[in-house]
């Protein structure tokens, strides 16, 4: 069996777009997809070996010495469709920010304020990044068929980041002791 779990899905998915080396698969996780899915070298290379053993991908010597470029096989495409059809196994929740808010009573107000601050900064950062990616996608020529799907993915990130900004604003108002009112 190919290495289970969704690593195989991610690797096959990337190869379904175009052939790539392990290094390039990792790079794919560094750009658009990387905001929603992560794999490290330590997973990718063994996974490629397993997938090739199962005939789901086909490796061939790459243009550089010692490099190997993998393409997806017909069996691989079928297998990928099957994997994608499985309902996603949601990872157990581990939200460090909300863990800290939940135990807000156990820390000084300043710590919470700093947490909200950095949450906000991060959300703004992500929005800027997504805007840039969106602009890039609009001028994409090579993979036009994929653009609607990639755009939808990015859109999910945008909406999540916007929700986060709303939350920060609301929470700041609710948890920050209101300043003394200016005299009338």
Binding site for DNA (CB under 7 A): 3-7, 21-24, 27, 38-43, 45-46, 48-49, 62-69, 92, 94
174 makes contact with its own copies (CB under 8 A) = yes
Tell me how far, at minimum, the Cβ of 69 lies from DNA, in Å.
7
Burial-class residue 179 by CB neighbours within 10 Å (0-12, 13-18, 19+): exposed
Given the rule CB under 8 A, which of 18-26, 56-64, 133-141, 161-169 is the region that contacts its own copies? 161-169
Tell me how far, at minimum, the Cβ of 80 lies from DNA, in Å.
17
Given the rule CB under 8 A, which of 19-27, 44-52, 130-138, 152-160 is the region that contacts its own copies? 152-160
- Residue 71's nearest CA partner among 60, 82, 83 is 60
Residue 133 vs residues 117, 129, 138, 143, 158: alpha-carbon distances, Å: 25, 6, 9, 14, 11
Given the rule CB under 8 A, which of 45-53, 61-69, 133-141, 169-177 is the region that contacts its own copies? 169-177
Tell me how far, at minimum, the Cβ of 3 lies from DNA, in Å.
6
Question: Are residues 120 and 168 in contact, defined by beta-carbon separation less than 8 angstroms?
Answer: yes
Tell me how far, at minimum, the Cβ of 100 lies from DNA, in Å.
15
41 makes contact with its own copies (CB under 8 A) = no
Q: What pairs with residue 69 in β-bridges?
A: 60
Question: Are residues 68 and 59 in contact, defined by beta-carbon separation less than 8 angstroms?
Answer: yes
């Amino acid at each position: 069996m190919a290495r289970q779990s969704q690593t195989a899905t991610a690797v096959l998915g990337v190869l379904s777009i175009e052939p790539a080396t392990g290094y390039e698969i990792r790079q794919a996780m560094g750009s658009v997809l990387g905001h929603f899915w992560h794999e490290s070298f330590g997973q990718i290379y063994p996974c490629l070996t397993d997938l090739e053993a199962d005939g789901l991908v086909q490796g061939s010597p790459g243009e550089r010495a010692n490099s190997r470029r993998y393409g997806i096989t017909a069996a691989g495409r079928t297998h990928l469709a099957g994997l994608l059809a499985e309902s996603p196994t949601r990872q157990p929740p581990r939200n460090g920010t909300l863990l800290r808010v939940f135990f807000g009573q156990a820390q000084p107000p300043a710590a919470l304020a700093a947490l909200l601050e950095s949450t906000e900064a991060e959300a703004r950062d992500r929005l800027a990044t997504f805007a840039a990616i969106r602009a890039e996608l609009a001028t994409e020529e090579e993979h036009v068929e994929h653009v609607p799907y990639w755009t939808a993915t990015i859109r999910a990130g945008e909406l999540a980041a916007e929700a986060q900004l709303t939350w920060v604003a609301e929470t700041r108002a609710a948890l920050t002791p209101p300043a003394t009112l200016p005299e009338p």
